[in-house]
Structure 1
Amino acid sequence: MFTNEVISSFNDLEISLYNYITKHSDKVIYMRIRELADQTHVSTSTILRFCRKLNCEGFSEFKVKLKLHLDRNEEANLKSTKHYLSEFVERTMKGNFESYIQETAELVAHAEKVIFVGTGSSGILAEFGARYFSSLGKFSSFIKDPFYPINSKDLNDSAAIILSVSGETDYTLRLANLLKEEGSKIISITNSKNCTLAKMSDINIAYYVTEVHLGEANITTQIPVIYILEETAHMIRNINKLRHQMKKNST
């Protein structure tokens, strides 16, 4: 409800009002404007100006929006992880999901460099993916910093595995575009194919599970991502073992 942009526009009185409201939201939704003014030691005109900055015509509309915001945070119905695991397994049994993993494994196995990319919780998984791939014989690095400088001219034979639930995160799209411009093949793992990141990728693996939000946080299960990363890494190892055996037999 309170975006960074809006908060940065508050003056000192409005900041004090904001601090009071965030600490006493459950009480504010039942207050009259005069009561809030007395509690915060500001004028009613300051409160009305505060409301307008939040695109509310008056204090009454602000209270309605505040209550809806509180209700959304309380109504999050968190199902068991087993539910989302079953949902993922059921959907992967259909279509050509495994073929996308195989295609990814083939591309990564022949790449000279492998770079995992992600921000937030996807950044943690990017680090896990790089470590897991490296443990199975395919050395990989990872980028979690959304402002990481990418200006290498030596990425033509590289593969970037980019993780994002929504596929619409600005920072992640920025990194994907920079890597693509430098010649890296883009492999994305997202929750849907109908996202910007998927459309700009050479290969996209979409796992389609129900997205879950708790307040501002996206807590969609990451079990499918871990499965995709581990399965891909095992396939790459098998590909490399086969290549090594064929090379050995030819000598």
Structure 2
Amino acid sequence: MSFFGKVDFQKLTYTERTIYTYLKDNVEKIPYLHVRDIALQAHVGSSSVMRLIHKIGYDSYTDFKADVTRKVKLEKEKPTSPTSFSLDIFPADVNQQLEELARLILESDNVIFTGVGSSGLICDYAARRLAGVGINTFSFSDVTYPISSKLRNTTNNLVIALSISGETNEIVEVLSSLRTNKDVQIMSITPKRHSTIAELSDSVISYRIIERRVATHFDLTSQLPTVYLTEQLADLVYEMSH
């Protein structure tokens, strides 16, 4: 999740990325920090900190700190609830969507799952299940890997992105780099139908879920819906291919 909004990492300098990483890892400290504190801890200059603050959309550090303080407070006030799962969280036509995706998988030469964090672990699981029913597939969670180069001389590729937030910067960058490749079709599974990742996809399977986070960045949101969808998908692929 990007706590400070959408950030185009390709437009950030090395120093700005360093500052951003420090801010992301220390969100709950920000309400008590001055610009010079951030500069000191990130080993950069105060002017560099301010350039990043302006680049991510704030007019001043005061505005930035006030907004982060508000968001941190809201995160702490969110009620927690036990993990629950019901088929009611899926759209009425989810079975039809899964069948269409299963056909697309069977028609594709390469199926690539991509995601980071807990979604990356589900990618590994989904790829393993599909490989078990005879699909040429692999999981791609190392977003620094030059996936565009790997797919350069291939055709009929299907990329399936998994993301709870729908705004994971690393996955947005990957999908953006693949979007212009006519030999790649992009599909995503995310609760956020109107997110950046969904907009970069040719089709989306969505669902409703309550996001649960600890200390802002530690995601405890249930992955049961995604596991269910990927298991159903593997079963459908198997049934259609036999």
TM-score by length of 1: 0.66
Question: Residue 227 of structure 1 corresponds to which residue in structure 2?
Answer: 228
**Is 1:114 aligned with 2:115?**
no
Distance in 1 of aligned mates of 2:140 and 2:186: 14
Deviation per CA, 1:146-178: give whole Å up to 9, x if none: 121022333321211111112222210221233
Question: Residue 142 of structure 1 corresponds to which residue in structure 2?
Answer: 139
Secondary structure class of the residue paired with 1:137: coil
Deviation per CA, 1:49-83: give whole Å up to 9, x if none: 9xx968565xxxx7x8897676556434221112x
Identity %: 24
Deviation per CA, 1:194-239: give whole Å up to 9, x if none: 1122222222101121222222233221111001111011100111
Q: How much does 1:117 deviate? A: 0.7
2:77 corresponds to which of 75, 78, 94: 75
Distance 1:71 1:98, change over 3 A: same
Question: Residue 195 of structure 1 corresponds to which residue in structure 2?
Answer: 195
Question: Residue 170 of structure 1 corresponds to which residue in structure 2?
Answer: 169
Contact 1:155 1:182 (C-alpha < 8 Å) held by counterparts? no
Contact 1:156 1:184 (C-alpha < 8 Å) held by counterparts? yes
Distance 1:75 1:183, change over 3 A: same
Deviation per CA, 1:69-102: give whole Å up to 9, x if none: 76556434221112xx13xx2132x521111111
TM-score by length of 2: 0.68
RMSD: 3.8
Question: Residue 34 of structure 1 corresponds to which residue in structure 2?
Answer: none
Larger helix fraction of residues: 1
Q: Which runs of 5+ in 1 are unaligned?
A: 10-14, 30-48, 242-251
Question: Residue 130 of structure 1 corresponds to which residue in structure 2?
Answer: 127
Secondary structure class of the residue paired with 1:95: coil
Distance in 2 of aligned mates of 1:91 and 1:66: 31
Distance in 1 of aligned mates of 2:208 and 2:77: 23
Contact 2:109 2:136 (C-alpha < 8 Å) held by counterparts? no
Distance in 2 of aligned mates of 1:202 and 1:7: 33
Distance 1:162 1:75, change over 3 A: same
Q: Which runs of 5+ in 2 are unaligned?
A: 5-14, 34-45, 54-59
Distance 1:171 1:66, change over 3 A: closer
Distance 1:6 1:178, change over 3 A: closer
Work out which structure has the larger RCO, using CA pairs closer than 8 Å and 6 or more positions apart in sequence: 2
Which residue identity does 2:108 align to in structure 1? A
Contact 1:155 1:184 (C-alpha < 8 Å) held by counterparts? no
Distance in 2 of aligned mates of 1:167 and 1:130: 20
Secondary structure class of the residue paired with 1:81: coil
Which residue identity does 2:202 align to in structure 1? D
- Pairs aligned (count): 203
1:90 corresponds to which of 85, 88, 91: 88
Distance in 1 of aligned mates of 2:72 and 2:198: 33
Secondary structure class of the residue paired with 2:241: helix
Deviation per CA, 1:115-138: give whole Å up to 9, x if none: 111112211111111111112222
